[in-house]
Amino acid sequence: MLKRLIEKKLADYIALDIKAPLTWEKYKRATNIEFRTTFVPKLMTSSYVITIAKQLKGAKRYALQQFIPRTTVAKRFERIEPYKQEILKKLGKEIKNMFQNFELRNV
């Protein structure tokens, strides 16, 4: 997965600080780990976010972030119109109880 992101130039830097044995159940509950998703139109759908949330269910921290089309990895993203705030707020209501701490950002 990471290899594909790098090859397609969708990520220019990735850092992973290992806090627990690489057992998924232990890892997603480890301290000081924040999972987050930037909700980018044309790359993601609401169902993608729900699927991601279900996969991460039980994690201590998760943030759903509104995409902001400035200073992006690829210039073509700077022309993408962000999703309406109502869509993010609705998604947030659907998934917030899956996490100990949930944050909706840039809304």
Residue 16 pLDDT exceeds 80 = no
How confident is the model at residue 1, as a pLDDT? 66
Alpha helices in the chain (DSSP H): 2-7, 24-27, 46-56, 85-95
Whether residue 9 has pLDDT greater than 60: yes
Radius of gyration of the chain (CA): 15
Tally of domains within the chain = 1
Is 29 within a domain?
Answer: yes
Q: Residue 22 — very low, low, confident or very high, per pLDDT cuts 50/70/90? A: low
For residue 98, how many other CB atoms are within 10 A of its CB?
A: 16
Residue 53 confidence (pLDDT): 94
pLDDT at residue number 99: 94
pLDDT in tens, 35-75: 899 999 988 999 999 999 998 898 888 999 999 998 777 88
User: Per mean pLDDT, which range of 19-23, 27-31, 98-102 is the poorest?
Assistant: 19-23
Is 62 part of a structural domain of the chain? yes
Residues 14, 6: Cα–Cα separation, whole Å: 9
Judge whether 47 lies within some domain.
yes
In a domain, 30, yes or no: yes
Whether 31 maps to a domain, the answer reads: yes
Tally of residues, the chain: 107
Question: Residue 13: what pLDDT?
Answer: 63
Host domain of residue 72: 19-105
**Higher-pLDDT residue of 10, 86:** 86
